[in-house]
Amino acid sequence: MIPMLANEPALQVVKRTRRQVPTWYNVLFTLLGVLWLIISFYPVLYMLMTSLRSQNGYLVGIPWLPPLHPTFGNYATVIQAGFAHYFLNSVIVSVTSVVLIVGCSVLSAYVIVRTKNKVVRFIFNLFLVGLALPIQAAIIPIYIIITKMGLYDTLIGMILPSVAFGLPLTLLILVNFVRDIPSELYESMGLDGASDFQVMRSLVLPLAMPALISVSIYDFVQAWNNFLFPLVLTQSDSSRVMPMAIVSFQGQYTMNVPVTMAAVMLSALPLILAYIFGRRYLLGGLLAGFGK
Amino acid sequence: MNWQRWLMIAPALLFFLVFALVPMLVAVYYSGLQWNGISAPTWVGLFNWRHAFANGEAVHAIWLTVELMVLCWIIQTPLSLLLGVFLAGKQKHRAIFGVFYFVPLLFSAVAIGVTWSYLLNPNFGLIDALLKAAHIGSGNQNWIGNPSIALLVVSLIIGWQFIPFHTLLYQSGAKQIPDSLYEAAKIDGASPLNSFFSITLPQLKYTIITSSVLILTGSLTYFDLIYVLTGGGPGNATQVLAMDMYKEAFVNQNIGVGSVLAVVLAVSGVVLSILTLRFTGFSRMESQLEGM
């Protein structure tokens, strides 16, 4: 493609010199890199260090150094204050939302790709409009609807709108993916006579698995971190989810920063574990097709 | 279209209509009501609209939202671009940097807001302690309590939260630039700065567009972090549209005025999307990608 590539030896010389002499821009770049490393990672380190400090240690210790006598006492306090219950609520809301969003989306994506008619095209366009609409713009009527349905302050009340707003992007990504399945595959598998459900199960689902995993991760993170729905749609202790729990801890232990930081660390636990054990998947999922 | 396919698309459509699209339309109706959400509503036509715009509240919120948008773009775009290109380099230490850069992605906006409110606390915050230790400034600076810098501080923290995501985007974009382009330029005697401007930037055009669209539409919806950090204050210095809407509807129980702001929010979202589609050829880009 590029004719200059024929000049192989010259290329190698160039490469070697680059490795030996650090040029000014490489130094500058690395400096910027180190600076950003401190800015982006240090606050996280601060969360961790503070969560291991005793309340006394927090006030007298040097705040930018690790605690002299690390303690897990704050984690114990947080767990005794009902955190396990809030954690479980978050798991229920997030997992149910993901299953519903991804399940509904993959079925619809299949129909949208395989059906050529105006109604389906119109429905797809409706979902695309949904991409541009901010959740905040619909929250007032959602609050009224959920209240009228008797679902205020319940986990289901949070799940229903989360599913609705998770659908458009998930659907778009899956449509793009299912569209890439060559139509010859449908024919060559002799599935022409098969029902849509059979085609779905034996062809689309297995092929779309990587995309399904990636959108599931994306939707899970969105649901896990969602704040507006629980803020507006719940109020009691029994339906409290993780982000609300942090806010209530902050209010309850105003001056006890270590306890709140322990709550913050615990709230991110699933994502921290996912990052340690499956960084590639998690980051791929967070990009959700934008990085294509 | 057979009944099976209707059955497959029905759940998604139902969720989306009932909990996203219909609420959005209902918000338009609510904007004409005088209603506290409990007693019987009265139809007042355009009264709420005139009220919200005449007393300057809505204009102030819109203006702040635009300011936030611009600040976020300026803070996030150049840095994310540089960091993404930096991480796309093949040097080993850059990969290790990357592991740390992406850690802020694991925390929710609420967790980040709570942490930064402690970091910036004028009495016991880490930033204050560091500045004092370095003898910079007079100490006890009230970062988020000072109306003239509160919005800037909020934008910087939003930047801290979202730069890792956009870095990820740019990294994945920059990795796709063929090495041969750089090698050819090098043989032609191009300086690294030259190849950055004549190869990297043009090749990242679509990434820049995607990232910018996400930043601009995202700034409409920054709510969680602002709620936790400033609650819209001090005064109304950080009362962006989403925050203003929440306060009107759920604190002042003025559903009508809240809905006016919600509609403004929705319209801004749609207009912004259409404008970016028009002026950037984003839709053309998508169809190009489909062929890949």
Cβ contacts (< 8 Å) between A10 and chain B: which residues?
187
Per-residue pLDDT of chain B (292 residues; tens, 9 = 90+): 688 889 999 999 999 999 999 999 999 999 999 898 888 888 988 999 998 899 888 899 999 999 999 999 999 999 999 999 999 988 888 889 999 999 999 999 999 999 999 999 887 788 888 888 888 777 777 888 889 999 999 999 999 999 999 999 999 999 999 989 998 998 988 888 888 899 999 999 989 988 998 899 889 889 999 999 998 889 889 999 999 999 999 999 999 999 999 999 999 988 988 888 777 765 554 544 443 3
Dump pLDDT digits (tens) for A62-84. Answer: 777 888 788 898 999 999 988 89
Interface of A with B in 75-104 (CB under 8 A): 100, 103-104
Question: Chain A contact for B43, CB < 8 A?
Answer: no
Q: Which residue in B108, B160, B164 is closest to A225 by CB distance?
A: B108
> Could you give the residue ranges of the DSSP H alpha helices within A21-154?
24-51, 55-60, 73-78, 84-114, 118-132, 135-148
Q: What is the ipTM of this complex?
A: 0.91
> Which chain A residue shows the shortest CA-CA distance from B217?
A132
Chain A touched by B204 (CB under 8 Å): no
What is the number of residues in chain A? 292
Give residue-wise pLDDT tens across range A188-238: 766 567 788 888 888 889 999 999 999 999 999 999 999 999 999 999 999
Q: How many angstroms separate the first and last alpha carbons of chain A?
A: 23
What distance in Å separates residue A214's CA from the closest CA in chain B? 15
Pick the CATH number of A82-287 from 2.130.10.10, 2.40.30.10, 1.10.3720.10, 3.40.50.720: 1.10.3720.10
Residue A83 Cα distances to A89, A244, B207, B220, angstroms: 10, 11, 40, 32
The full DSSP string for A58-76 is HHHS-TTS--SS--SHHHH
A165 CB near a chain B CB, below 8 Å?
Answer: yes
- Of A232, A124, A178, nearest in space to B16 by CA: A124
Contacts with A43 from chain B: Cβ below 8 Å: 104, 115-116, 119, 160
B113, closest residue in chain A (CA to CA): A247
Does B21 sit within 8 Å of A242, measured CB to CB? Answer: no
Task: With a cut of 50, say whether residue A14 has pLDDT above it.
Answer: no
Chain mean position to CA A165: 14
Residue with more model confidence, B248 or A186: B248
Provide, as residue numbers in chain B, all residues whose Cβ is less than 8 Å from the Cβ of A243: 108, 110-111, 224
- A125 CB near a chain B CB, below 8 Å? no
CB spacing of A137 vs B129 below 8 angstroms: no
Chain A positions touching B187 (Cβ under 8 A) are 4, 7, 10-11, 14
Return residues 125-184 of B near A (CB < 8 Å): 126, 129-130, 160, 163-165, 168-169, 172-173, 180-181, 183-184
Tokens of B234: 């001090």
User: In which region does residue B135 sit, left (phi positive, over 0), alpha (psi from -120 to 50) or beta (all else)?
Assistant: left
Instruction: Identify the pLDDT of residue B263.
Output: 95
| Cβ <8 Å between B249 and A136 | no
Contact of B188 with chain A, judged by CB distance below 8 Å, is answered with yes
Residue A213 tokens read as 């995993």
Interface probe for A, chosen from B2, B4, B5, B28 (most Cβ of A below 10 Å), is B5
For residue B88, the distance in angstroms to the closest alpha carbon of chain A comes to 12
What is the rounded CA–CA span in Å between residue B72 and residue B159?
7
Element (H, E) at B40: none
What per-residue confidence (pLDDT) applies to A291?
Answer: 60
Please report the domains of chain B, with CATH numbers, ordered by start residue. Answer: 55-256 (1.10.3720.10)
Which DSSP symbol is given to B239? -
Identify the three-state secondary structure at position B42: strand
Q: Is B275 on the interface with A (CB under 8 A)?
A: no
Q: Give A200's contacts in chain B (Cβ within 8 Å).
A: 8
User: What count of other Cβ atoms lies within 10 Å of the Cβ of residue B79?
Assistant: 18
Instruction: Count the alpha carbons within 13 Å of B284 in the hemisphere toward its beta carbon.
Output: 8
DSSP B34: E
Q: Which of B20, B99, B250 sits opposite A232 (nearest CB)?
A: B250
Identify all chain B residues contacting A196, using CB atoms and an 8 Å cutoff. Answer: 2, 4-5, 8
Whether residues A286 and B228 touch (CB distance < 8 A) is answered with no
Yes or no, beta carbons of B118 and A127 under 8 Å apart: no
> B79 touching A, CB under 8 A?
yes
